[in-house]
Every structure is written in C-alpha cells, then in structure tokens.
Amino acid sequence: MDYKTLKYRQEGPIGLLTISRPEVLNALNDKVMFELHHFVASIGCREGLRVLIITGAGKAFVSGGDISEMQHLDAARAYDFARKGQIHLQRLANLQIPLIAAVNGYALGGGCELALVCDFITASTEARFALPETSLGIIPGYGGSQRIIRRCGLSNGLYLMLTSEMIDAYEARRMGLVQKIFEPAELIPATIAMAKKIAGNGPNAVKLAKKSAREGFAMSLENAFEKERELFSSLFETDGPEGLKAFVEKRKPSWSE
C-alpha cells in the first residue's frame, strides 16, 4: 500500500513509523486511521521487526483528532466514530512487539491517546501533553479516559481530563506518563538506541514479558501469577536455555526466533 499519511523505515529489527500530516500538525482523520489499520495488519510481513517506534513529522507528535470531521457528528455517528477509533488503537496495543511513542511536540487529545497505546513514552523537552476534550464539551473517545488513569493513576488522570491543562514533558514524567526526556535532536537517536537494547534481549522473552504485564494487569493478582508461571515456564523451551547458558559461558546469547 502506498501510504499518504504515514512514513515508515526499518533498520534491522527497529521500525520507525511517522504520522505525517505536518500541515495540520498530524491531526488524526479517517485516512490516518485507515492507513494505521492497514499498517498494523501488515506487521507480520515486516521481516525481523522486534520494536516499533511511533513519532510525528514536524513540530507535533499528533495534535489531536481532526475537528473538521467531528463537528458534524450526531450521537449515533459519534458512537460509531469512537468505536472504530478504539478498535484501531487496540489492535495497535495488541501487537506482540514493544511499542515506543517518541513524542517530539504536541500530543493533544487523540495524539495523547495514541501515545498512551504504546508500552512507554520518550519525550523531547519540547513535548506537550493534554487531554483537552472537556473544554470542547466532549470527553476522550479513543480509550484515553481509561488508559490515562491506568497509566498515571485516577487522580492524575482526572486532573488532566477535567482541567484540560497542557503539561510539559517534565510534569508528564512526574505523573508517570513519560519515562525518558531528551533534547529535541537526541529524541529519535536515543529512542532508537533504547529500542536496540530491547531488540538485543530474548525475542520471545520480550514478547511474553509484554504479554504477562498487559494481560495480568486486568486480572486478579492470583490469576496474574498463574499467567506469569505459564509464560515463565514456556520460555524454557525457547529463549531460556540459550540465555542462561550464554550467561554461564560469559558470552552474548545467539537468539533464534
């Protein structure tokens, strides 16, 4: 597929996906969501991909949803709009490989929701985050009202939604939204270096660590422990023997997919 709103490049096991509508600060519209859906469906064809980084073109990550597409919705169409957006972003969240949002600028509304889908977030010192929907008389519709409270806690999530306040990268890190902050020129190189470190670990172990955390988070602690035991033991048929042997022999592991 010839993407019009996305740019993608892959170097070895690291993929970099860029939302590219810089003329409207990368606002999400139907075209972006359709292409994102197609991209996710094609992930299995991208040989050797182990970590995916998502960023934005120009001075924004994603400035939000495209208001011109939203302003004429009625209640029934708004419900369908939110349902489709949630499905598309959940498919992204459900990818086995780790996802990193490299937030280079504005991550507002739907852009913040897209960043929240990722497993963790790196940010430029120029990054700005907000869930400003209540100032427009609506609420987040792509899963943001649920993901923000799970990422930052109930009170922090409510604070961001109810005040519509825009926060910088340092406040976002204090709230637990952002994990690492870099100078603008260093954001992508530093995030790629981080991704390479992840890609150097056991590929099956990385996937199952994500699976254990993501699935266990929604379970009771007892059931989550059982899930962890199942996944832990399964790795002794894949990455575990080589990783443990390499450690004893003081060499780098030679992983197989």
**Catalytic site residues?**
113, 133
* Region at 223 (left for phi over 0; alpha for psi -120 to 50; beta for the rest): alpha
**Structure token digits, residue 85:** 């957006």
Q: What is the tally of helices (H) and strands (E) in the chain?
A: 11, 10
Amino acid letter at 27? A
Place of tokens 């790196």: 122
Backbone angles phi, psi at 39, to 5 degrees: -60, -45
Local structure of 21: helix, strand or coil? coil
Per the DSSP assignment, residues forming a β-bridge with 106 are 60, 128
Specify whether the CB–CB gap between 105 and 124 falls below 8 A.
yes
Residue 12, C-beta contacts closer than 8 angstroms, at least 6 positions apart: 48, 196, 199
Per the DSSP assignment, residues forming a β-bridge with 65 are 28
**What CA dihedral angle connects 81, 86, 91 and 97, to 10 degrees?**
140
Residue 185, C-beta contacts closer than 8 angstroms, at least 6 positions apart: none
**What CA dihedral angle connects 146, 149, 155 and 156, to 10 degrees?**
-120
